[in-house]
Structure 1
Amino acid sequence: MMGRPPASGAPVFRFFPQEVQEMEKFLEDGKGAVPPRDTISSLAEKFSAAPERAGKILVQWKQVWTWFQNRRHAQKAKGTKVPGNTAPSPRDDSGAKRVVTNSAAVPSGRNVLVASEMEFEAKSARDGAWYDVASFVTHRMFESGDPEVRVRFAGFGAEEDEWVNVKKCVRQRSLPCEASECVVMLSGDLVLCFQEGKEQALYFDAHVLDAQRRRHDARGCRCRFLVRYDHDQSEV
Structure 2
Amino acid sequence: MEDNDSWDSLSEFTLAEVLEMENSYKAKGDETLNEEFCKKLATNFSSSSNRLGKSTVTWQQVQHFFQEKQMEKQTEQDPSAMALDLFVDLSDANSSKPLEIMHRRKGTAEDLKELSFEARSSKDYAWYDVETFLNYRVLYNGELEVRVRFSGFAKAEDEWVNVENAVRERSIPLEPSECDLVKIGDLVLCYLDREQFQLYCDAHVVDIQRQSHDAKSCTCVFVVCYDHDYSEENVTLERLCRRPIT
TM normalised by structure 1 equals 0.53
**Aligned-pair distance for 1:184?**
2.8
1:170-207 deviations in whole A, cap 9, x for unaligned?
00111111111111311110000000111210000000
Q: Which is bigger in relative contact order (C-alpha 8 A, separation at least 6)?
A: 1
In structure 2, relative to structure 1, the CA distance for the partners of 1:178 and 1:79 (3 Å cut) is: farther
The yes-or-no answer on 1:209 pairing with 2:209 is no
Contact 1:77–1:176 (CA under 8 A) maintained in structure 2: no
**Structure 2 residue 122 is matched with structure 1 residue 125:** yes
Runs of 4+ in 1 over 2 A off after TM superposition: 67-72, 75-80
For 1:180, the equivalent position in structure 2 comes to 177
Corresponding residue to 1:189 among 186, 190, 194: 186
Deviation digits for residues 136-175 of structure 1, max 9, x if unmatched? 1111001211000111100111100111100000001111
Q: Evaluate the alpha carbon distance shift between residue 162 and residue 79 of structure 1 in structure 2; reply closer, same or farther with a 3 A threshold.
A: closer
Partner of 2:154: 157
The aligned residue for residue 111 of structure 1 is none
Where structure 2 has 5 or more consecutive residues not aligned to the other structure, the ranges are: 3-98, 234-246
Distance 1:71 1:156 in 2: 14
Quote the RMSD (CA, aligned, Å): 2.6
- Letter of the 1:210 partner, please give it: D
Cα deviations by residue, 1:106-127 (Å, 9 ceiling, x for unpaired): xxxxxxxxxxx67110000011
2:132 to 119, 135, 144: 135
The DSSP-based 3-state class of the residue aligned with 2:101 is helix
Return the index of the structure with the highest Cα Rg.
Answer: 2
Q: 1:120 touches 1:172 (CA, 8 Å); kept in 2?
A: yes
Is the contact between residue 205 and residue 223 of structure 2 (CA under 8 Å) also seen in structure 1?
yes
Conserved 8 A contact 1:77-1:178: no
Q: Would the alpha carbon gap of residues 217 and 183 (structure 1) be closer, same or farther in structure 2, given more than 3 Å must change? A: same
Partner amino acid for 1:189? D
The separation in 2 between residues aligned to 1:135 and 1:79, in whole angstroms, is 15
2:109 paired with 1:73: no
Give the residue type in structure 1 aligned to 2:186: D
Distance 1:136 1:78, change over 3 A: closer
Equivalence map 1:1-236=2 (5 Å): 1=1, 68-76=100-108, 119-217=116-214, 220-236=217-233
**Aligned residue pairs, count:** 137
Which of the two has greater helix per residue?
2
Give the direction of change, closer, same or farther, for the CA distance of 1:162–1:234 in structure 2 (3 Å limit): same
Identity level (%): 50
TM-score (norm 2): 0.51
Change (3 A) 1:228 1:120: same
- Amino acid of the residue matched to residue 145 of structure 1? G
- For 2:189, give the aligned amino acid: L
**In structure 1, what is the Cα distance between the partners aligned to 2:215 and 2:166?**
39
Structure 1 alignment gaps of length 5 or more: 3-66, 83-116
CA distance in 1, matches of 2:150, 2:111: 24
C-alpha deviation, 1:68, in angstroms: 3.9
**C-alpha distance in 1 between matches for 2:135 and 2:126:** 21
Amino acid across the alignment from 2:131: A
Q: Deviation of residue 79 (structure 1)?
A: 9.6
